[in-house]
Structure 1
Amino acid sequence: MATTAPVAEATGITKRFGPTVALHEAAIRVEAGQAHALVGRNGAGKSTLVSILTGLLPPDGGGVRFGGEPAPRLADRGAWRQRVACVYQKSTIIPGLSVAENLFLNRHERGPGGLISWKAVRGRARELLDTWSVDVDVRAPAGDLDVEQRQFVEIARALSFGARFIILDEPTAQLDAAATTRLFTRIGDLRRQGVTFLFISHHLREVYEICDAVTVFRDARHVLTAAVDELPRADLVAAMTGEAGAVVRGARRGPPPDAADVLTVTGASLPGCYHDVSFRVRAGEVVGLAGAASSGRTEIAETVAGLRAAAGGTVEIAGSRPRPGSVPAALGAGVGFVPRDRHHQGLVPQMSIADNGTLTIPERLGRAGFIDGRRRDDLARSMIEDLAIKAPGPGAPVSGLSGGNQQKVVMARALANDAAVLVLVNPTAGVDVRSKEFLLGKVEEVAGSGAGVLIASDELDDLRTCDRVLVVFRGRVVAEVARGWHDHRLVAAMGGVDLDA
């Protein structure tokens, strides 16, 4: 009996970026009508595979087929759009245009003389949205739509090209529980109409709610593909994390029992980000905030650092309550901060190491607002020595440093004001192994000197030094895990899964 070819199939996919192997002989097979999950830790290769499946990148090895036929030439974008579309976590809707204009951008109906017939465009848009049961005004500015509506419009736009295979990249990252339920209902409706979905999410609980099959990537390789109802949750997490080095054992001493609180967050809430968050960090303690990128962990850390102002609750630092949403106030209260993106938030590229490292301590560089260059450079030399920054000298521009040394400059600035609380967001992102070990060793050194440390990250290596890890899921602290955790248990909690349930 003849079998139906899969909607999409990638086999033997290898992709390299210089010395980095992003995918090694990876594979996935998505059957017609499925909701198929693709999961894996950061760096597993998911995003690279999506780029290859959508024709944005050519593989170095292997191939892609749709419905049993080879994928189109990369240059034939129209043919790719007829076969596959991706709705990304970051919307591609153009906010300044109407819904109708977004739906048929560069495909407008034209009347006599070649002029665009807006009446016809709006008519086609209404027909398209009605066909796929999307309740949005086609005349409305796309910028007025909420996240849920934008997703539905993007799905409808993809379907208008003829594609019946839709990749959803973290579709629930910015949705509340009610909107997520509505999205899942619409996905079910569309599947009954012949649409197939590849569902990418860090929320493992959702995989079991909506998907038929799941494929796991780890370390750029395909690990397993299985039916969801035949795969125990513990086995899924084990496939994502691997079995080696599962238990965390640290030799670092934690804070003494009588250590004072240096950070107290009580009942903090910020609509759309987190709700009713309370925790404390003691002098000499390292506390982790673990969770997916959309969990709210980063926003909580940024609130402590003064980048955001909570709508409710309090943040107390070393006995004082700095003005909410004020970075200078947080700095003055004793916060040192390493932001999540050194390129956009952490460094001024054309300025020197000395200037970047001392941005937060101008009062120590001279009087009456004047900077003593010699004093600044002396401080910078101390930073360079203390953090083993490889550079010609304090006057070197940070743009010429490696990623690891740039991150050390950001760390040096965070430590420059003798912080009582060090707040770190993804502190080892984009650095080599040696720099990562050095930076995390510096964190332990800072805690050993009596400062409190708060690390917000989804990287397990960043969290291994923590005395406690608070797990944030959908804006709430859902678990507290003591030192000695297992990788698979922490990953499960970050994905909303309770392995004991």
Structure 2
Amino acid sequence: MRDAAAQPPHAAGAPAGAPAAVHAEGVVKSFGSTLALDGVRLTVRPGESHALVGRNGAGKSTLVSVLTGLHRPDEGRVSFGGEPAPAYGDTAAWQSKVACVYQKSMVVPDLTVAENLFLNNFGGAGAGSGGLIGWRGLRRRAADLLAGYGVDVDPTARAKDLTVEQRQFVEIARALSFGARLIVLDEPTAQLDARGIQRLFTKLRELQARGVAFLFISHHLQEVYELCTAVTVYRDARHVLSAQVADLPKDDLVAAMTGDAARSAGAWHAGENSGELSRATPLLRTGRLALEGVFEPLDLEVRPGEVLGVAGAAASGTTALGEVLVGMRAPTSGSVAVAGRAVRPGSVPDALDAGIGYIPEDRHLQGLVSTRSVAENATLTVADQLGPLGTVLPSRTRAFARTMIEALDIKTTGPEQQVTGLSGGNQQKVVVARALARNPKALVAVRPTAGVDIKSKDSLLGVVRRVADEGSAAVIISDELDDLRVCDRVLALFHGRVVATFGSGWSDRELVAAMEGVGERE
């Protein structure tokens, strides 16, 4: 396989022969006895969208911390535009070279867009007399800055009122305002629906044409092939390859990331067992379930042993449907029942008691208590089973957690490890462990593989499939095609109504067309 790092093509918006936006060579970084980077390299050209991929623990996050000045490398060198990296600790100098837009937004929610744009730089943006901030000038400067980069956001709006997509655009504009010409995007699409992703990609291409370079970190390989021209793979803290995306088949990319020829989650497809399923009594059922203005009345039936997929963007009502099923939101009308037992609308405790398990869309916001251990997070839904008279015995908590750790192959130092110390894939497995702790009759999973690596994705989808195969009902709500391949049946939602129904043999083209509202099939 050709290593394309030495002779990259001319990137959009970059003059021929221009020095690399960033070049890292021979970078080594250790944390105690853990070797996080072992002589890695990376070259990103001006105007290029370059993917950095690898399994969790491959070294991607550590490299980003080195490239953004958060950590000093033990060995190796980093340069920007052909010049050596700034002195470590010189925050302003680093901001003028590179910025990172993280999966978890770094804007201050209670400040306005204008205040976030010029945080720590109010004086340069609109200083008034006597050292006071000139708010009118600040807002005008913010509006000019946003307009200059084509970002349609009100500078007076509170950051907490913005969509995820708008917050990302604000962070990118802020980085460019400091002079940075390299933007690191860390899982930028994890919380965006399909339309939001396309709008983000359109904006990135516009900025690339102006010479801005992007280092794109993602676990979604289809996005790499859609957006990026070059890709670098790390595995086990080492550089494996750098290549042009167009020259690299997906199977070869997966093999480079995993170190073997194991199939990706994209190879999943549920078996043809529709005949057996159709004869079983539904385990999870909804009757004319609706949420006004979000989704129209739905009659869903999910049988024991079945995985039902609900495909579509969050804006089409899919996420809201999942939240209604598990009691997080009350429906406008209709009912939910599990094994014939009605579930009280809008009641999470009653949904749990009825036998519904839930894997939420955002593990950081809804799935984990970051200050607690693996054991505490995994047993949140079964605290009533961990001791007599309402007490929780630590020994029972640890024993229960060890069982879940072994069953789900959670890579941890032990039940008492703080959950924030785990990789993204293992954090998601803890969320799954909590959902399965009560042996649910029905499992509802909303975008269950968001922000995890390929092997973890495969493992998590396998768990959902196994839950169904053992006699429960499962629902996967997602617009990720790989998530939906394990499903026996898929319903496509568009603008709150079912526009198509598919068996397990659907094609990517027809399912995407249905989700986007350009194809209907019943």
The runs of 5 or more residues in structure 1 that have no matched partner are 366-370, 391-397, 431-436, 483-488, 495-501
Q: CA deviation at 1:23?
A: 3.5
Structure 1 residue 318 and structure 2 residue 342: aligned? no
CA deviation after TM superposition for structure 1 residue 11, in Å:
2.2
| Residue 211 of structure 1: aligned partner | 228
Aligned CA distance change for structure 1 residues 400 and 361 (closer, same or farther; 3 Å): closer
Specify the SS of the correspondent of 2:383.
Answer: coil
Percent of residue pairs identical? 47
Structure 2 equivalent of residue 160 of structure 1: 177
Q: CA RMSD in A?
A: 5.9
Change (3 A) 1:265 1:13: farther
Q: Distance in 2 between matches of 1:449 and 1:481?
A: 19
Q: In structure 1, which of residues 131, 140, 145 is the aligned counterpart of residue 148 of structure 2?
A: 131
Query: How far, CA to CA, are the matches of 2:136 and 2:237 in structure 1?
Result: 49
1:488-499 alignment, distance < 5 Å? none
Which residue number in structure 2 is paired with residue 185 of structure 1?
202
Per-residue Cα deviation, 1:80-117 (whole angstroms, up to 9, x for no partner): 00101122232222232233222222222334322222
Q: Give the Cα separation in 2 of the matches to 1:176 and 1:324.
A: 27
Please, which moves more after superposition, 29-38 or 104-113?
A: 104-113
Instruction: Summarize the Cα distance change of 1:296–1:221 in structure 2 as closer, same or farther, 3 Å threshold.
Output: farther
Q: Per-residue CA shift, 1:221-259, capped at 9, x if unaligned?
A: 33322222333344334434443443999xxxx998665
Question: In the alignment, residue 54 of structure 1 is paired with which amino acid?
Answer: T
Assess if the C-alpha contact under 8 Å between 2:109 and 2:158 holds in 1: yes
Which deviates more from structure 2 when the two are superposed, residues 82-91 or residues 205-214? Answer: 205-214
Shift of 1:448: 8.0
Q: Is the 8 A contact 1:387 1:408 kept in 2?
A: no
SS at match of 1:323: coil
Task: Give 1:76's match in structure 2, choosing from 90, 99, 102.
Answer: 90
Residue of structure 2 equivalent to 1:327: 348
Q: Secondary structure of 1:120's partner?
A: helix
> Alpha-carbon deviation of 1:72?
1.7
- The DSSP-based 3-state class of the residue aligned with 2:283 is strand
1:359 is matched with which residue: 376, 379, 383? Answer: 383
Query: Which residue in 2 is equivalent to 1:420?
Result: 441
Deviation larger for 205-214 or 279-288: 279-288
Pair 290,108 (structure 1): closer, same or farther in 2 beyond 3 Å: same
Deviation at 1:274, TM superposition (A): 10
> 1:267 and 1:22, CA in 2 relative to 1: closer, same or farther beyond 3 A?
farther
Q: Which residue of 2 aligns with 1:4?
A: 18
Q: Contact 2:335 / 2:342 at 8 angstroms: preserved in 1?
A: yes
Q: Which amino acid aligns with 2:120?
A: N
Q: CA 1:479–1:204 in 2, change beyond 3 Å: closer, same or farther?
A: farther
Deviates more, 1:230-239 or 1:103-112: 230-239
User: How far apart in 2 are the matches of 1:51 and 1:415?
Assistant: 36
Are residues 1:149 and 2:163 paired? no
Q: Which among 210, 217, 221 is matched to residue 200 of structure 1?
A: 217
- Cα distance in 1 for partners of 2:353, 2:17 equals 68
Secondary structure of residue in 2 paired with 1:36: strand
Tell me which amino acid in the other structure corresponds to 2:183. I
Classify the secondary structure of the residue corresponding to 1:184.
helix
Question: Does the 8 A contact of 1:310 with 1:325 survive in 2?
Answer: yes
Once the two structures are TM-superposed, the CA of residue 47 in structure 1 deviates from its matched residue by 2.6
Partner of 2:72: 58
CA deviation map 1:30-87 (0-9, x unaligned): 0122122223344433333222211122334433221222222220111100101122
In structure 2, the CA distance between the partners of 1:177 and 1:336, relative to structure 1 (3 Å rule), is: closer
Q: 1:51 to 1:143 in 2, by over 3 A?
A: same
Deviation by residue 1:185-205 (Cα, 9 ceiling, x = unmatched): 332332232222222333433
Which range moved further: 83-92 or 211-220? 211-220
> 3-state DSSP class of the match of 1:198?
strand
Question: Is the 1:334–1:419 contact (alpha carbons within 8 Å) kept by the matching residues of 2?
Answer: yes
Q: Report the 3-state secondary structure (helix = DSSP H, G, I; strand = E; otherwise coil) of the residue aligned with 1:372.
A: helix
Whether the 8 Å contact between 1:170 and 1:201 is mirrored in structure 2 is: yes
Read off the aligned partner of 1:102 and give its amino acid letter: N
Residue number in structure 1 paired with 2:104 = 90
Q: Distance in 2 between matches of 1:181 and 1:385?
A: 40
| Pair 1:102 & 2:116 matched | yes
Q: Distance in 1 between matches of 2:477 and 2:135?
A: 49
Deviates more, 1:84-93 or 1:203-212: 203-212
Gap regions ≥5 residues in structure 2: 1-15, 407-413, 420-425, 453-458, 513-522
Distance 1:70 1:469, change over 3 A: farther
Total equivalences in the alignment:
462
8 Å contact from structure 2 (residues 233, 242) kept in 1: yes
| TM-fit CA distance, 1:289 | 9.6
**CA 1:223 to 1:349, structure 2 compared with 1: closer, same or farther past 3 Å?**
closer
The code of the aligned residue for 1:317 comes to V
Change (3 A) 1:214 1:268: farther
Pair 1:45 & 2:59 matched: yes
Moved more, 274-283 or 188-197: 274-283
Task: Say if 1:358 and 1:413, in contact at 8 Å, map to a contact too.
Answer: no
Further displaced range: 113-122 or 312-321: 312-321
From the superposition, tell whether residues 479 and 12 of structure 1 become closer, same or farther in structure 2 (CA, over 3 Å).
farther
CA deviation profile, 1:110-139 (whole Å, cap 9, x unmatched): 343222223333343333234333343433
Aligned partners of 1:346 and 1:410 also within 8 Å = no
Partners of 1:217 and 1:62 lie apart in 2 by: 16
> What's the TM-score once normalised by structure 2's chain length?
0.65
2: CA distance, partners of 1:306 / 1:285: 21
